[in-house]
Amino acid sequence: MSKISVDLAGNGYDILVEAGALEHVATHIMPFVSNKRVFIITDKNVADRWLLPITAKLKKSGLAISSHIVAAGERSKSWAGLEQLTDWLLDQGAERSDILIALGGGVIGDLTGFAASILKRGCQFIQIPTSLLAQVDSSVGGKTAINSRAGKNLIGRFNQPKYVLIDPLVLNSLPDRELRAGYAEVVKYGLINNPLFFEWCEQHGANLLRRDPDALSYAITQSVQTKASIVAEDEKELSGRRALLNLGHTFGHALEAETGYSSALVHGEAVAAGMALAYHYSVRRGHCTDAEAQRVTAHLDSVNLPHGLESAGVKASGETLIQHMLHDKKMTGGNLPFLLANGIGQTFLAPDVDLNDIAAFLDIAA
């Protein structure tokens, strides 16, 4: 069991990582509940497996439960999904002093967190993330959003949860591909600033993907600690520190856009390929050695994650991919944030990347 604090003036919170924590879900969330009731927001897949046991435990502790189940998938993170959710909450008589529970993956966390930020000018929410990606990434840090016609996550707010309850055992029902995609974000934390953790991934990644509870707990704790400390230094992505979390994401975004954000390449897979490309581009720029980039590729390959254009199934030209990057929401003042590396666990924000050079690199990258 480990407890990690996100140190933020005024809106800090704790994250509990504990295998089996959901057995005692009522004890964990009770300190945050007023009005003796909670509103659970979840999706169909998660509801089928987890809603009943969790609801039963909360009811046993005397809480009234209302639950809202949305369709699984990115489409629920939309204006329509937000409208349905907020209308439902208002129909239920939700008040500002109530607390919402996001029980699900990143889609549910982002939608619920955003709804909480605007319901009656803001109520509280708790994250109970159920995908590996949500446990190591989206449930921590307070970014909430919905998608709009112009792109993903463009409408949203920073809104920190009151508490994050992570039970690695819920991952037992997560499909293998989703688990692997979430693992790409785990590897990311090693590559950002923790070479020893990357080494741990090389040794134990396969075990984690077999859902070994100890390996999962360890990796989730390491990941959350890194994210929490970076978020504490730069809550709203103002200083550039938080941008480190985007390692692999600018390249990855181009690959996702090229594959139409389809199931051909899910986010974590695109990030895996993007991280390998970032390392290989760092070699081209003389920042790190070829052996280091090959180490990244070899690990991703060993766990069946894409590690470049070919393995991601992308055939586009460098110029096409650059065009996708230019539509990335991370672009500011005509500049794109490229995260490059001086070595394993030594990621830095490169201010002066020439897009023509990136295009030339992508034309010859595998």
Q: Is residue 227 annotated as part of the catalytic site, yes or no?
A: yes
Does 258 sit near ligand NAD (CB under 6 A)? no
Which residues have C-beta within 8 Å of that of residue 149, sequence separation ≥ 6?
none
Rounded Cα distance, 360 and 363, in Å: 5
Residue with tokens 């390959």, as numbered in its chain: 301
Residues 70-109 touching ligand NAD, rule: CB under 6 A, are 72-74, 77, 104-108
Q: Which of 242, 280, 287, 295 is catalytic?
A: 242
Q: Is residue 35 annotated as part of the catalytic site, yes or no?
A: no
Please say whether the beta carbons of 191 and 202 come within 8 A.
Answer: no
Element (H, E) at 143: strand 143-148
Q: Which of 152, 162, 188, 227 is catalytic?
A: 227
Tally helices (H) and strands (E) across the chain: 14, 11
Instruction: Find the distance separating the first CA and the last CA of the chain, reported in whole Å.
Output: 42
- The sign one gets for the Cα dihedral 326, 329, 335, 339 is negative
Q: Is residue 75 annotated as part of the catalytic site, yes or no?
A: no
Give the SS3 label for residue 271.
helix
Does 223 sit near ligand NAD (CB under 6 A)? no
Q: Is residue 57 annotated as part of the catalytic site, yes or no?
A: no
Does 127 sit near ligand NAD (CB under 6 A)? no
Kindly tell me which residue out of 138, 222, 282, 347 binds ligand NAD, with binding defined by CB under 6 A: 138
Q: Is residue 185 annotated as part of the catalytic site, yes or no?
A: yes
Kindly tell me which residue out of 28, 37, 68, 143 binds ligand NAD, with binding defined by CB under 6 A: 143
Q: Is residue 172 annotated as part of the catalytic site, yes or no?
A: no
Q: Is residue 299 annotated as part of the catalytic site, yes or no?
A: no
Residues 304-333 touching ligand NAD, rule: CB under 6 A, are none
Of 79-87, 135-143, 199-207, 358-366: span binding ligand NAD (CB under 6 A): 135-143
Q: Which is nearer to ligand NAD, 130 or 311 (CB)?
A: 130
> Helix 267-284 and helix 355-364: axis angle, to 10°?
100
x/- contact string, 41-70, with ligand NAD (CB under 6 A)? --x-xx--x---------------------
DSSP string, 36-94: TEEEEEEEHHHIIIIIHHHHHHHHHTT-EEEEEEE-SSGGGSSHHHHHHHHHHHHHTT-
Q: Which of 253, 295, 299, 307 is catalytic?
A: 253
Does 249 sit near ligand NAD (CB under 6 A)? no
Q: Is 94 exposed, middle or buried (0-12, 13-18, 19+ CB in 10 A)?
A: buried
Does 164 sit near ligand NAD (CB under 6 A)? no
Q: Is residue 324 annotated as part of the catalytic site, yes or no?
A: no
**Cβ 267 to ligand NAD shortest distance, Å:** 6
Please say whether the beta carbons of 276 and 270 come within 8 A.
Answer: no
Q: Which of 36, 60, 121, 149 is catalytic?
A: 121
Binding site for ligand NAD (CB under 6 A): 43, 45-46, 49, 72-74, 77, 104-108, 110, 130-131, 133-134, 137-138, 141, 143, 152-153, 170-171, 173-174, 178, 267
Catalytic residues: 121, 143, 185, 227, 237, 242, 246, 249, 253, 267
